[in-house]
Structures are given as structure tokens and as C-alpha cells.
Amino acid sequence: MAETIAFTLNGKPATITTDGQRPLLWVLRTDFGLTGTKFGCGQAICGACTVLVDNKAVRSCTHPVRNVAGKQVRTIEGLSSNGDLHPLQKAFVEHDALQCGFCTSGMILTAYSLLQDNPQPTREEIVAAMDHNLCRCGAHTRIIDAIQDAAARMKGGKA
């Protein structure tokens, strides 16, 4: 059944009238044209579809769009501000922490969520937080380095 859902998308008000059970992923990619959020597995296993809902990492492929009503949704497209890369994005570039780039949005937003909760994570804490985001190219060690570096630059989780 169609319903109207209002939320904040990358800092701006957004509304959509649609079946509220549709996964957030496809609403973002199709209705809002935000294709930076990727489809990987469809079962919330791989993390490629990760977005932020009220600053928490959420797997959008299984998250009904109805559940974001009244909330703040942030996708990879909304992470940099005024053309300046977020420290996590910068660190991913500078550490060469990606290859094909398909898991990258999900990696960065999962890391963002981690640093909100834990601004100075240890290496072990990063591994634990990122362990359910899959990368097939094998950029893992560089991703960990990038997150540690970004955490140091953000000095307490504030970008």
C-alpha cells in the first residue's frame, strides 16, 4: 500500500509516496537516483548497501523505507561538505584503500558509524566493527589503516 514517508536525505527534506515496505536501497537508487549506495547480496550480509540512519550504519537492502520516516538518512553522496572530502574519504584515497570501489561506500559509512560510537578505536575494534563488510579485491589492511588515520585526524569523532 502506498504511503507518504517524510525524512531528511543528505541534509535536505525528502518525501516519497510509495509502498513503505520497499527496501530503502532501491528507493535511494531508483526514486532518488543516488546510485552510490550499492547492491551486493540483498540479505544484509555484505554491507555494500550501508547507509547512515540517524548516524548509525544500516543495511539498506533489507531496511523498509517506512522505517526512516522522520529520520536523518545520509548516503555516500552526502558525506562530503561543500566539495571537501570527509576525513574518512580523504584517508581512503590517501591509503589507496580500495580497488574496484564497489564495497567502498559501505566501508566508509560503516566506519563513520564506528567512529561516532568510538572515536579512537583500536585496531581490534576496527576489525570487529568492519568484519561484516565484505571486500573481494582484498583492500582490507589499507581500509583499517585509513580508518585509524581518519580517527586520528577527526580527533574525537567530529569531522
Partner 1 sequence: MNDNPHMEIDFHDIITDPNLSRREFLKALGGGIFIFFCIGDSSVLEAQRRGGRGYPEDFNAYLRVGPDGRVTCFTGKIEQGQGAITSLPQMLADEMDISPDMVNMVMGDTAQCPWDMGTFGSMTIRFFGPPLRAAGAEAREVLIELAAEQLQVPQDRLAVENGVVFDKQNKDKKVTYADLAKGKVIERHAKEKPPVKSPSAFKVINKPFLHRDAQEKVTGKAKYAGDMRLPDMLYAKVLRPPAHGARLKRVDTSAAEKMDGVSVVHDGDFVAVLHKSPDQAAALAKIDSEFDVPAATVDDQTIFEHLLKNVGRENTVAQGGQLEEGERLSEIVVEQTYLDGYKAHAPIETHAALAQVEGNKATVWASTQTPFPLRDQIANALGLKPDDVRVITPFVGGGFGGKSPGQQAVEAARLAKATGKPVQVMWSREEEFFYDTFRPAAVVKIKSGITKAGKATLWDYHVYFAGDRGAAQFYDIPNHRTSSVGSAFGGGPSPHPFATGAWRAPANNTNSFARESQIDIMAAKAKMDPIEFRLKNLRDERAIRTLKAAAEKFGWKPAPSGRGLGVAVGTDSDTYVAQIAEVEVDKRTGKVRVKRVVCAQDMGLAINPEGAAIQIEGCVTMGLGYTLTEDIRFKGGMILDRNFDTYELPRFSSLPKIETVILDLPNEPAHGGGEPAISVVGAVVANAIHDATGARMLQLPMTPERVRKAIAALA
Residues that bind partner 1 (CB under 8 A): 22-23, 25-26, 29-31, 33-43, 45-46, 48, 75-77, 79-80, 85, 89, 92-94, 96, 98-105, 108, 126-128, 130-144
> Of the two residues 71 and 140, which places its CB atom closer to partner 1 in the complex?
140
> Of the two residues 41 and 69, which places its CB atom closer to partner 1 in the complex?
41
> Of the two residues 15 and 141, which places its CB atom closer to partner 1 in the complex?
141
Least distance in angstroms from the C-beta of 146 to partner 1: 10
C-beta of residue 51 within 8 angstroms of C-beta of residue 24: yes
C-beta of residue 132 within 8 angstroms of C-beta of residue 47: yes
> Of the two residues 26 and 157, which places its CB atom closer to partner 1 in the complex?
26
Least distance in angstroms from the C-beta of 82 to partner 1: 13
* Beta strand extents in the chain (DSSP E only): 2-9, 12-19, 50-53, 56-59, 72-74
Least distance in angstroms from the C-beta of 100 to partner 1: 3
Sheet-wide strand order for 2-9:
12-19, 2-9, 72-74, 50-53, 56-59
Instruction: Show the cell assigned to 124.
Output: 581490534
Least distance in angstroms from the C-beta of 122 to partner 1: 13
Which residue reads 573481494 in cell numbers? Answer: 136
